[in-house]
Amino acid sequence: MKIALLVFVGLIVVAVIAYFLLFPRNTFISFSRPSGGTVTFSRTGVSLEAAPDHYATNGFEHIKPYVARLLVPTNRFKFLHIFTPDGNRGFGFSARDGLVQAGLSVEWRQEAQREAAIRAFFSSLGIAPSRDYLAGNGGVPDATRILDYPIAGSTAEVTALTERILQELCGVSPTEALDISYGDK
């Protein structure tokens, strides 16, 4: 019995050491599930994300109820991601404690004009970025510019702004398919 216990404890110790070696800080490994969701492993835990809601046509018609949920003040973290099914065009919102932010990312070395368009769009609305920083992407340091902008307004106003961002900054038309993910944690 003692030997079995020692072997069990030894296996646990080896598993913990392997876990920290396989998952260094700021490393995430994601797998797609057959249902369309994802499973993400990191040093801090395992995250299960549901598949996005898929709208095959007229995606803009489905945005308003998600925005309404996002704008309800709560101390929980909430997110709303709106992208084309290929994941290449779109953007996301985050919200906590009544503060809603639109987040856009751009590969600034290859897309200098898009970055300038994003900045000009929000500047024309009198909105300065609340966060503006460079992040690594795929092992390339400072590859991606992250721009977060504070957003305020009614459900109708934020929905209209969302549609403008999708059209003017992301190149998405109102009749296109959209994948929409909403969550709170």
Over the stretch 158-177, which tens digit does the pLDDT of each residue have? Answer: 999 999 999 999 999 999 99
Q: Are residues 29 and 78 in the same domain?
A: no
Tell me which residue has tokens 């902008």: 149
In the predicted model, is pLDDT for residue 31 greater than 90? no
Q: Are residues 40 and 57 in the same domain?
A: no
CA–CA distances in Å: residue 20 to residues 26, 28, 29, 53: 12, 12, 13, 34
> Considering its fold, how many domains does the chain have in total?
2
d(C-alpha 113, C-alpha 82), whole Å: 22
**Confidence bin at 185 (pLDDT 50/70/90):** confident
pLDDT tens for each residue of 128-147: 999 998 887 777 777 789 99
Q: Are residues 73 and 163 in the same domain?
A: yes
Q: What residue spans of 79-148 are helical by DSSP H?
A: 112-124
Q: Are residues 73 and 133 in the same domain?
A: yes
Q: Are residues 92 and 21 in the same domain?
A: no
Q: Are residues 156 and 137 in the same domain?
A: yes
Q: Are residues 23 and 86 in the same domain?
A: no
pLDDT score recorded for residue 5 = 75
Residue scoring higher pLDDT (138 or 99):
99
* Domain extent at residue 3: 1-49
CB 40 within 8 A of CB 47: yes
**Confidence bin at 13 (pLDDT 50/70/90):** confident
Q: Are residues 58 and 74 in the same domain?
A: yes
Q: Are residues 72 and 161 in the same domain?
A: yes
d(C-alpha 81, C-alpha 104), whole Å: 11
Cα-based torsion angle of the residue sequence 157, 158, 159, 162 in order, rounded to the nearest 10 degrees: 130
In the predicted model, is pLDDT for residue 155 greater than 90? yes
Of the three residues 49, 71, 87, the one that is the final residue of a domain is 49
pTM for the structure as a whole: 0.78
Q: Are residues 63 and 110 in the same domain?
A: yes
CB 87 within 8 A of CB 116: no
Q: Are residues 146 and 80 in the same domain?
A: yes
**Confidence bin at 32 (pLDDT 50/70/90):** low
Average pLDDT of the residues in 96-100:
90
pLDDT score recorded for residue 95 = 93
The CB-based long-range contact list for 134-142 (8 Å cut-off, 24+ gap) reads 134/108, 135/105, 137/107
Longest CA–CA separation in the chain, Å: 73
| CATH number, position 176 | 3.30.200
Residue scoring higher pLDDT (108 or 129):
129
Q: Are residues 116 and 145 in the same domain?
A: yes
pLDDT score recorded for residue 122 = 97
